[in-house]
Amino acid sequence: MDTLGYQSLVQDRLATSGYSLRSTPPWGLVGYRRDFRVRWGATTLHLLVHVATTSHVTADELARFTRSSLDQAELAHGGMRGLQSGVGVISAVIGDSADEDAHRYALTTIVRDFAAFAWPVVVDLGARVRSSRPSGPVIGAVYNSWMLSQIEALLPQPDALVPADPR
């Protein structure tokens, strides 16, 4: 599977999961949904999934994309964030390859602002692996299981994908 094929798969999963979709440069694909949960302390989370493709993912590129995705999400949906509302972003960069620093950044980093956070993800199709932080931050921990389940549902591990029968 190539980067555009994986992005198409993510687009289908976003639509199936109730996200509204749009394609916008430089993010490529953006999915948005708003969820309210009593178990989150009766708060609303504005969740955006930003997906971009590239031939090779670098740590600097992933960091810039994640920061840019969070800034855009705060501008679009973060005007009233605080006690009852927050903004979450999954910023995924899909590449044919990725350097080790990009994987390390995704495995160790959550970008935070006031009542907003971004969870970077690298999808390395050449190595057939998806990297993201396996656990969330302490502040905002109420959203951790939801974020992890969304990453798992929307951005499958490439090695788990069954290639199409070439016949």
Closest CA to 7 of 45, 42, 41, 54: 54
**pTM of the full structure:** 0.87
- When the pLDDT of each residue in the chain is averaged and rounded to a whole number, the result is 85
Q: Among the listed ranges 4-8, 12-16, 44-48, which one has the minimum average pLDDT value?
A: 44-48
User: What is the C-alpha end-to-end distance of the chain, expressed in Å?
Assistant: 16
Phi, psi of 82 (to 5 degrees): 155, -125
Boundaries of every domain in the chain: 3-160
Greater model confidence, 139 or 154: 154
Greater model confidence, 23 or 67: 67
pLDDT band at 165 (very low <50, low <70, confident <90, very high): very low
Where residue 140 falls (left for φ over 0; alpha for ψ -120 to 50; beta otherwise) is left
- State yes or no: pLDDT of 40 exceeds 60: no
Pair 78, 57: CB distance under 8 Å: no
- State yes or no: pLDDT of 96 exceeds 90: yes
Per-residue pLDDT at 87: 86
- State yes or no: pLDDT of 131 exceeds 90: yes
* Stated length of the chain: 167
- State yes or no: pLDDT of 5 exceeds 70: yes
- Across the range 49-68, mean pLDDT stands at 96
- State yes or no: pLDDT of 157 exceeds 90: yes
- State yes or no: pLDDT of 62 exceeds 90: yes
Q: What is the Cα–Cα distance from 100 to 125, expressed in whole angstroms?
A: 14
Greater model confidence, 68 or 112: 68
Cis peptide before 26 (omega within 30 of 0): yes
Per-residue pLDDT at 95: 97
Per-residue pLDDT at 147: 83
Residues 109, 161, 10, 107: what is their CA dihedral angle, to the nearest 10 degrees? 0
pLDDT band at 143 (very low <50, low <70, confident <90, very high): low
